[in-house]
Structures are given as structure tokens and as C-alpha cells.
Amino acid sequence: MPETLSLKEIGLGYSRLKNGIKARVVVCAGTGCVANGSLEVFDALKKSLEQNGLDVVLELKKEENGTLLSKSGCQGFCQMGPLVTIFPQGVLYTKVKPADAEEIVTATIKANKLVERLVYSNPSTGERTAILSEIPFYKKQHRYVLKSCGVIDPEDINEYIADNGYSSAENAAFNMSPEVICRDISASGLRGRGGAGFLTGRKWDMARIQKSAKKYIVCNGDEGDPGAFMDRSVMEGNPHSVIEGMIIAGLATGADEGIVYVRTEYPLAVKRMRKAVADAFALNILGSNIFASDKSFNISVMEGAGAFVCGEETALLASVQGERGMPAPKPPFPAQSGLWEKPTVINNVETLATVPLILRHGTAEYRKMGTEKTPGTKTFALTGHVANTGLIEVPFGTTLRHLLNEVAGGVTGEDGSVSLEAFKAVQIGGPSGACLTRDHLDLPLDFDSLKSIGAMVGSGGLVVMNTCTCMVAISRFFMQFTQNESCGKCVPCREGTKQMLNLLDDILEGRADDTTLPLLEELAVAVQRGSLCGLGKSAPNPVLSTLKYFRQEYTAHIKEHRCPSGSCKAFIQYSIDPALCKGCMLCAKKCPSGAITGELKKPHKINTAACTKCGICVASCKFKAIKGAA
């Protein structure tokens, strides 16, 4: 780093430039909002600001008094995107379109008035809330790791530094020994956020004591759970926090090289991580003699091929080495012999992003959040039948009831109503996790509480399901995923998951008999016990948990040939109400199997034996005379 450009000077310089800004408009440019057109909103705001005679500042390089227009990473409230936040008022506008730009500029930025139609409206109460911090979705969270995501410009290293960024790494480089860093991280109780919950400090210390001239730090950004996007959002919204965590991990273990492994389906995360790494090298935060010390640390960004199994440590390392991503037996553990047989620490994105905050604020402050055995916070990707989907962060120990009622805004029913009464289950931990039911609404969400009922935090996916959901179909969905993602190395996982999937298909398609469930359970236990890695060992979890809590749904499919939720195609019986049928013959013309017969202007009938249950007749009937029931 140039002698005249310390971190403190960079931060003070940016803050001085920022003080001259009259207003700031932040457009969410996380993947979700970008997909919904937020970049077009950004361009429209820029054009409108210029047409209204306002000075537009896109990058703070000199003292200016205009309006700072910037992009952020994911702001979390994905259900309401594209999102635009205006400071200093702190106003959040939701579902913004390019056509709204002119009114936002003239009303809010020039006249300090609200655009009421863009203000958030609570789906349960109808109450409108304009200030971001007062919206229940945000107010009921504790945003710790995500505090800067959605606020700072992820592609501006100076803004990260101005917010005390890299101060923890700099302090560690000059004032902390490897032993002290490992001790502090251990004392914090930080547990890995990738799913296993192993103590981070212990893992680092295991690598630290290894006698090797070469060691590695690997950031696991291979987030493969269906519906999960926690790590992606951190890499997109605050990539420098991940880099700083890796530097500290390197200082703690004696590693001088790091690799960020990101799944190739995350192009925006890859782009922003690479820019952040390049900017850190330019300021000598990375490279030789970091922070003008005698320490060195280099980082490269690698794209993974998108295999779910590469989330497992040893499979990820094989992929980094150019081999097929397949797990290897342990021990030795990667901290002992990992990448190219050198000691290697592997942490996921969220874990690494937490580290700088722990060193900055102290372990005692960190332990004030969460529970005694699981301190801190956890990010969750909240999806499914809830009013407010998105990225959230709460302290460990928070209950499912709080998440659903207070943060998610309630569970949505089939009729569009919002109520906890519509809640049936939540799949936690992705395909490796399990179902939680109404009996678990007040269970603290932490590693130990969930483990006690056979569930797991996992990486943080939460899929909420209402009473119209078929739990057999849900277990089949996750089994299909894990079967597709099996690397095929071991027989229990490769063949066992395939046979479990076949048995689930038998149940859903009406072919199952009294021997199906016992065989399914026997297979599940065999796959659990015999598989080599975590993917296979946890693959049966969704099946076993749904059998435990919703066994009656399985038996209804098998013994009664009925789907209690009414959603399984094989058990739907279509009929025509003669009182409503006008005999227009449209359904008969549309039916691909010729199952509908009747004369013009007379009620028609459906031959259930010939019906393929495609539902085309229901969609084509203008008089709603055709009904389907399971």
C-alpha cells in the first residue's frame, strides 16, 4: 500500500466526500431485483435526475453536492422487488418500475413527499409503512452479517473501508498472534454456517498446529440447496467482508493463499468477488506484505461446475484440483491434509463474513446474541407459502412462530388469505434437512435444539408449506434432487436413492401396496448408514421426517388411493356438474383422450377409465361445470 494511503486515510477521505452529498438513492441490484428489472429502474432514475437539473453522482471521486445514485446487493425483501431506498429519509419504495422514476425524483427527492402507491402495505392489516427500519420484515430481524448488504455499494472498496472494513484484518496482522486469533474465535463460539455447525476456532487451530510450509484457506460458495441464496447474497452485497474473513483465517493458520469457490450459476457473485479481489490487490490489502506488514496473502476466484455434492469439503477440494467432484473418506480431515495434501481450512461464506465483526466488536458482544451453545445470528432464505419471502437474519434461538408471524408476515392459504392457521410444515436445511410441524412452532432454531428432533439448520433454507401441500410429493421432490446430484461413488447413495425414488413414485401414482412403506423405511436407514458422505447420509431425511409427522398421508395414498391435500394427479377424479354444463362441446373437442362424450346443448359425461387427468377440460370450460376431486 502506498505510504500516504492508509486504511484510516482512505476511510476518512470517503466519509468527507460523502458528507457533501445531499441525498442518496440506492437501487437493489441483487440477482432477484435485477431479474425483475432493477437495472432499468436505475437507468430511468439517472435520466430523470438529469432532466430535473439535479447533479448525479455515480462514483465518489471528488467533493460534490449532488445526488448519489448507487447500486447495492440484495436488500432481502425479495417479495417486494425491485426496491429503491432513499436517504437521508430512509424511505423504501417497493415494486418500482422504470415509469415510476420521474415521480420518485419530483416528489421525494425534490419535494420530500411520499409516493404513496410505492409504499409497503402489510398484507395482513393493510397498514402502510414508508420507513425501511419500521417495516416489520426488517424491524423484527437482527441484521448483523447482512447489516451492510443492501446499503453499501458492493463494488466500491472505499465505502467498505469507511465503515471500518479491513480494520480487523489489519489489527490481526500487526497485533495478534495466530494463537490469539484462534483463541478469540473459539471463545466467541462461532460455529460453521455451512450446515455441520463445527466450531470454527477449533478447525482453525487444527490447521494452525500442522507443520507445513504451505497452507490454504478455501471459501465454500457452492450453495446448492434448492431455494437457498444466503451465501450468494453476501458475495453480491458485501464481498469485501468475505475477503477480510479469509485474510484473518490465513493469519490464524499460517496460510498464505485463499481460493473462493463459487458455483458457476452465480455470475453476479463471481463478477463482484473478482472485482473485490482485484481492488484489494490494488490497495495492497492482498498480495505480498499486506497492510505494509511482513505477512502475505493471495486470493483467487474459481467457478465450480454446479454439482451439489461439491458443497461437501473433500468433493470441493477434488473439484479445485481439477478432478471430478467426489467425496473422500475422513480422516485425514482437510485441516490436516487437504488441497494438494496441504493443511486446508474450508469455511462457508457466511462464516467468513462473521469473523471480522467478531474481532471488531469483541467476543463478549457477539455472545450476547443467540444461545449459550450457539451464539450469533443466522441468515435464512425464506420461501414458499408466506406473505413476505426473502433473505432474513435472526439470532439463533428465534422460534419458528416468530419467523412466520413477525418476519414473514404470515402463511398464505389457498384462497390468498394470510394466517398461521394455514401453516402445515416447513422444510429446514434443504434436501439434507427435515420437516418441522405445528408442534415445533415454539422450538428454538439452533443447532442443538434441531438436532434433538432429527432436524438440522443446514445452510439456512426455509421452505414454508400450507395445508394444501402434499407431503409425499414434497419428500419425492427432495429425493429426486439428491438422486440427481449423487456423484455415484458409493452404492448405498447411488442405488439406494434411486430405489427410494421409485417407491415414492409408486405411492404417488397409485401402484403401492402394503409392502411399500416398510421397504421404503428399510432402504432409508440403509442409505443413511452406508453412504460415504453427508449427501447420502442425509438424503433420506425428508422422507423419514415426513413419515414421522405425516404418515397418515402416505397410508391414505396407499390404502385409500386418495391424496388428502387433493393435489396428486393420479388420484384426481374429474366430473361434470349437469346443472352447470351447457353442452357447448368445447371440453369434448379439447380432450386429448376422447374421454368426454355428449350431445350438443345437453350435459356431457367423463369416462374416468379413459381420462388421463391432464386438466385441459377444466381450463377450457367457461361455465366452471367440471370439477376435480381427490
User: Would you list the DSSP string of 131-166?
Assistant: BGGGSHHHHTS--STTSSTTTS-TT-HHHHHHTTTT
Residues 202 and 331 in one domain: yes
CA distance 535 to 88: 47
- Burial class for 112, CB neighbours closer than 10 Å (0-12, 13-18, 19+): exposed
Residues 306 and 358 in one domain: yes
In a domain, 146, yes or no: no
Residues 342 and 257 in one domain: yes
Residues 358 and 267 in one domain: yes
Which of 452, 469, 486 lies at the terminal end of a domain, its last residue?
A: 469
CATH number at residue 523: 1.20.1440.230
CA distance 185 to 188: 5
In a domain, 579, yes or no: yes
Q: What is the CB-side half-sphere exposure of residue 541 using CA atoms within 13 A?
A: 26
In a domain, 149, yes or no: no
The answer to whether 601 and 550 have CB atoms below 8 angstroms apart is no
Which amino acid type is present at position 613? K
Q: Is the dihedral of CA 350, 351, 353, 358 positive or negative?
A: positive
In a domain, 150, yes or no: no
The answer to whether 78 and 88 have CB atoms below 8 angstroms apart is no
Residues 331 and 417 in one domain: no
Other beta carbons within 10 angstroms of residue 321's beta carbon come to 12
Report the pLDDT value the prediction gives residue 571, as an integer from 0 to 100: 85
Task: Please state at what angle helix 516-530 crosses helix 491-508, rounded to 10 degrees.
Answer: 160
Residues 30 and 123 in one domain: yes
pLDDT, averaged per 10 consecutive residues of the chain (630 residues), comes to 70 89 94 95 96 91 87 93 94 97 95 95 87 94 94 95 96 97 97 87 96 96 84 96 98 97 93 97 95 95 85 90 88 93 96 97 96 94 92 95 92 85 90 89 92 85 92 93 88 93 94 94 94 87 93 94 86 90 93 92 91 88 86
Q: What is the CB-side half-sphere exposure of residue 578 using CA atoms within 13 A?
A: 7
Q: What is the CB-side half-sphere exposure of residue 595 using CA atoms within 13 A?
A: 19
Total domains in the chain come to: 5
Residues 232 and 86 in one domain: no
The three grid cell numbers given for residue 34, joined into one nine-digit string: 435485477
Which of 311, 334, 367 lies at the terminal end of a domain, its last residue?
A: 367
Q: Domain containing 249: what range? A: 157-367
Nearest C-alpha neighbor of 531 from the set 485, 495, 577? 495
Other beta carbons within 10 angstroms of residue 399's beta carbon come to 17
In a domain, 566, yes or no: no
Which amino acid type is present at position 280? A
Q: What is the DSSP letter of 245?
A: H
Which of 346, 367, 388 lies at the terminal end of a domain, its last residue?
A: 367
CA distance 550 to 553: 6
The three grid cell numbers given for residue 318, joined into one nine-digit string: 477434488
Strand 434-437 relative to strand 461-466, pairing = unpaired
Residues 223 and 357 in one domain: yes
CA distance 484 to 477: 11
The answer to whether 44 and 98 have CB atoms below 8 angstroms apart is yes
Residues 464 and 477 in one domain: no
In a domain, 565, yes or no: no
CA distance 405 to 399: 10
CATH number at residue 110: 3.40.30.10
Residues 292 and 195 in one domain: yes
In a domain, 317, yes or no: yes
Which residues neighbour 31 within 8 Å (Cβ) at sequence distance 6 or greater?
74, 229, 232, 233, 236, 266, 268
Residues 237 and 125 in one domain: no
Q: Is the dihedral of CA 305, 307, 311, 313 positive or negative?
A: negative
Integer-rounded Cα Rg, in Å, for the chain is 27
CA distance 238 to 29: 12
Report the pLDDT value the prediction gives residue 1, as an integer from 0 to 100: 38
Q: What is the CB-side half-sphere exposure of residue 480 using CA atoms within 13 A?
A: 9
Largest CA distance in the chain: 92
Report the pLDDT value the prediction gives residue 630, as an integer from 0 to 100: 67
